A and B are shown apart, each in its own frame.
Chain A
């Protein structure tokens, strides 16, 4: 059985996270993706770890290996006219072009929807850009942290008891992943519309706007109440917080009143729980400082797994603060087969995060590992585009491929 998107042909001009994650989502569901990298260095993600055995090597970057599964890889310098002409040939043969070439660089190389649709009038082109393609910040330089801050998320996290410390980023490169995931939604929607209308189009995704779309209720505090949420959000309910047990951290989580009542029962119904200052979830949040010091001594006597399972048995949604080791040894994730083993000739065989979802009919599957740099040049430029060996040699000499 083929994947749900096995009919789609995609060309990716992507670096780091956003566009590569977008096309990975499609590739893992069956789409054919040709990834274009710069000759020489390749995708900047190749310069980032983790590396097996800490050996820095462009074919061993864990981030790159994860983000580029199921893609074929070619090298092509699209800043040279001959390279751009080959990009146009590739696009002529594809359904979708996904890129995150920054707007000033788009201008410099002449990458625009108007030009690409001349190569392929039915093309869908998805541009995933830090601040979008219009507006005063269009040409701003941005790394992942820039956008996680500019989208209004960083300000929500930090230690309120240490105001001298800065707002705190979320681990990893979350702006890029959100730009990629929102981009994937819009891209497959455009592919669906194309089945109906037969037309291609330009899909422009702003990573800043993707990030600004996900701050829970915190943004709306401003237009609704002229209040600002900072550091840990505007926590309206309690207890919703991590707390230290004997052997690690657990996350206490009582969103609904019956969950709190069940937790109080698990604690053996201490007298203080009946105090007026803890009578409902909103009041408990206001009086969290007092509640916290009453909970801590009891929680410190528990083990994480025992309290987790006791709470879940009473339908209270506590969760452990999982370490990476906890995830890899989780019986639940093992039973679901979440982690997948991927063998790549240079980096070796390792476990990677697997499918975000399970389809009943169309599989999510790893058909090939991430490409080595230029691995499929001969196959794509030679067999697919029909360039002769002499021409390939010439392009190589000129540094185009």
Chain B
């Protein structure tokens, strides 16, 4: 069913749209963000102004953006998908040339009031353009090779640009997020099996390239992988982060060491404790109970998104909602795996909790799209 078949009269309009918002989802997002405020206050050693307050302001700003996005009918967003995608691509190219370098990678453009990471934006606009593509494509052609190549190119172009920044984590996230939308749209199994096989081959090639002239990834990325595979190998060098993160997490026990009592974070043993490693502080101070609660909140957000998507008869809206939910899932799943020693340290923040402006704004804007789809669903 496409937007042309909507019975416009059945969709809410004007201020009444607020009543049709997915309120439980908003409450869940606020709950997750509150975990963030609490932890940012703690890791700053009881200083509100350091991280917690700016984060709250960004959250309020993000909510405003979310409401604004939600008010715009979903079919308008669908029509804007290609433009948004191309805009992100241009920004990605721009950081190639004008981007500021941080952590050995070109990642952001300084806009003055905030640092814009186009790769964050791209995670959403890629999902948008793919959803729009499959909405337009007749279902019968979904698995035809020619019609598979187009979305693959849509995915690989930004992936390549992000990879050259270089940001392996985001590149993988883009690829998996895009693949998830293709999977949901119904592309034949065989393609995924083929790509997976090719992927394994590529990973093997990357490892084989180590130390040769044609080395495919940077040395520090190799070291991160080494560290992931055996953190005890280099406990004071590259393995330090992951070892300390695991100690913090494990020492929390059932109920944790108490709010603002986590020794690992308070005494600075934890690296990047306000950004990528904030989950370890949460786990240290609130223990298994606290860490599991956050995981449960995330799970509920996914559940609400999936149920909203399945109840939506519009193909674009469903694909978009499911794609955004998957991207969101990838964020926290990769971050948690990373700090628990299940994945290499790839620099993915914990969504809505880690300190950081553009990630939070982009995510809340994405949930604005989910809300828009929810409000403007065909009834």
Do A and B interact with each other, yes or no? no
